[in-house]
Amino acid sequence: MELAKEITEMRKAAGLTQVELAERAGVGLRFVRELEQGKPTVRLDKVNQVLALFGCELAVRTKS
């Protein structure tokens, strides 16, 4: 599943608005909106701030 869609679904399942999610995660509303719209250049550390509210984390794998 696409990350943007997954985050939107988790937010809605938790009964949070985008404003509430931004406040609880300590990120800006604009970031949450861009994240849910699938902007390809979001910062990984901020993505993980949002995901931490749902007990999740995104990691990047490197090829060995």
The answer as to whether 37 is a domain residue is yes
Tally of structural domains, the chain:
1
The answer as to whether 29 is a domain residue is yes
Q: What is the pLDDT of residue 60?
A: 81
pLDDT at 63 over 80: yes
- 7-33: per-residue pLDDT in tens? 999 999 999 999 999 999 999 999 999
pTM of the model: 0.85
Q: 27: domain range?
A: 3-52
- Angle between helix 44-52 and helix 29-36 axes, rounded to 10 deg: 90
Q: What is the CATH number of the domain that holds 11?
A: 1.10.260.40
* Residue the block writes with tokens 């609880």: 24
- 30-51: per-residue pLDDT in tens? 999 999 999 988 899 999 999 9
The answer as to whether 36 is a domain residue is yes
The answer as to whether 60 is a domain residue is no
The answer as to whether 61 is a domain residue is no
Collapsing DSSP to helix, strand or coil, 35 comes out as helix
